[in-house]
Amino acid sequence: TEDDRPQVKKDVDYEGGMGVSIGRLREDSIFDWKFVGLAHNTLRGAAGGALESAEMLKALGYITKK
């Protein structure tokens, strides 16, 4: 992993602009986790990017039922 990712110039066209890049994942005492997410809003849309980010975090085990 790279500590400075995602970056717009390097990651905006990930998966042809339909992918979501998530990086800088770190534990947080208030929100449990913090991260930086990048999605191409003109192709994916903000809501679609947020939904795909949540689905990926759940699949990786970062989002669980309490």
Q: Token digits for 34? A: 């913090």
Is 66 within a domain? no
pLDDT at 1: 58
Asked whether the predicted pLDDT for residue 44 surpasses 80, the reply is: no
Is 1 within a domain? no
Number of domains observed in the structure of the chain = 1
Is 18 within a domain? yes
What's this model's pTM, rounded to 2 decimal places? 0.61
Instruction: Give the range of the structural domain holding residue 19, as residue numbers without chain letter.
Output: 8-59
Is 14 within a domain? yes
Is 13 within a domain? yes
DSSP assignment of 13-53, as one string? Answer: TGGGGT-EEEEEEEEETTTEEEEEEEE-TTTT-HHHHHHHH
Is 55 within a domain? yes
pLDDT bin (cut points 50, 70, 90) of residue 21 is: very high
CB of 33 within 8 A of CB of 25?
Answer: yes
* Mean of per-residue pLDDT scores for the chain: 88
Is 65 within a domain? no
